[in-house]
Amino acid sequence: MGAPGGIFFLVAGPSGAGKTTLLKRLLEAEARLEKDISVTTRAPRPGEADGVAYRFWDRARFERELAAGAFLEHAVVFGRDFYGTLRAQVEAKLDAGIDVVKDIDVQGVAQVRKVWPYPRTVAIFVTPPTPAELERRLKDRGTEDAATVARRLATARAEVARIGEYEYLVRNDTVERAVADLQAIRRAEHLRRERDERAFRANWEPAAQGGT
Ligand code: 5GP
């Protein structure tokens, strides 16, 4: 272990957990951390420009690139649209020593970790403080009908069943505190022994490395 290079932070959790806001604030606060831009087949929402939050591709292009092996992972989210992570764009940043963070669904996390297990990737599960608070946030959005809210709550419970796959759990109580938690995770992860062990030993045990 101890591969040098950036860390890929995968941030998952129920829709309504506040991931978008948290990642936006985190990216504003941190240096040498960049967001991965997902590819999706869903239509852009009003105000969503191509290449900012997402690259909007049609199904044919998505399938072509999938067949060509361009995706590190992909998933159908909410039973509708395809979402995926382009391997090359993440790799380029990690190789340059830049950390990458992305908002991803639980299926995506499971797939990425088969290819790139910890410590190259660090999985963080974000939830609202309570299920009742999640329900309130989903209803307050006012954009989803009752059936959609019910479906998202059921999905949230199914997602929580998989928290054993994550290194960290963050409760998004207040944005400030949750962002501070994410910053603390990043900082601590860079201090993990397995990331730095080789360089550390080379410095302190030069003889063991074949030095004089
Ligand atoms: P939305 O379409 O509302 O922006 O996002 C829907 C869901 O897609 C979010 O839960 C988000 O985590 C997930 N998602 C976004 N990008 C990706 C991706 O590249 N791969 C996977 N597996 N899920 C993604």
Does residue 86 carry a pLDDT above 80? yes
Ligand 1 neighbourhood includes 83 CB (under 6 angstroms): yes
Q: What is the pLDDT of residues 136-174, one digit of tens each?
A: 988 887 777 888 889 889 989 999 999 999 999 999 999
Does residue 203 carry a pLDDT above 90? yes
Q: Is the dihedral of CA 120, 93, 28, 57 positive or negative?
A: negative
Q: How far is the CA of 211 from the centre of ligand 1 (A)?
A: 49
Does residue 63 carry a pLDDT above 90? yes
Helix H or strand E encompassing 143: none
What is the number of the ligand 1 atom nearest to the C-alpha of 39? 19
Ligand 1 neighbourhood includes 38 CB (under 6 angstroms): yes
Q: Residues 122, 167: contact at Cβ < 8 Å?
A: yes
Q: What is the pLDDT of residues 51-60, one digit of tens each?
A: 999 999 999 9
Domains of the chain: 8-200 (3.40.50.300)
Q: How far is the CA of 209 from the centre of ligand 1 (A)?
A: 45
Q: How far is the CA of 167 from the centre of ligand 1 (A)?
A: 20
Confidence of residue 212 (pLDDT cuts 50, 70, 90): low
Q: Give residue 113's identity as a one-letter amino acid code.
A: R
Ligand 1 neighbourhood includes 41 CB (under 6 angstroms): no
**pTM exceeding the 0.75 threshold for the entire prediction:** yes
Nearest residue CA, atom 17 of ligand 1? 104
Ligand 1 neighbourhood includes 77 CB (under 6 angstroms): yes
Report which DSSP code applies to 38: E
d(CA 5, CA 195) in angstroms, rounded, equals: 9
Confidence of residue 1 (pLDDT cuts 50, 70, 90): very low
Nearest residue CA, atom 24 of ligand 1? 104
To test ligand 1's pocket by mutation, which of 19, 103, 165 has the most ligand atoms within 8 angstroms of CB? 103
Ligand 1 neighbourhood includes 85 CB (under 6 angstroms): yes
Three-state DSSP state, 111 = helix
Ligand 1 neighbourhood includes 108 CB (under 6 angstroms): yes
What is the number of the ligand 1 atom nearest to the C-alpha of 53? 4
The structure tokens 């490395």 sit at 209
Average pLDDT over residues 8-37: 96
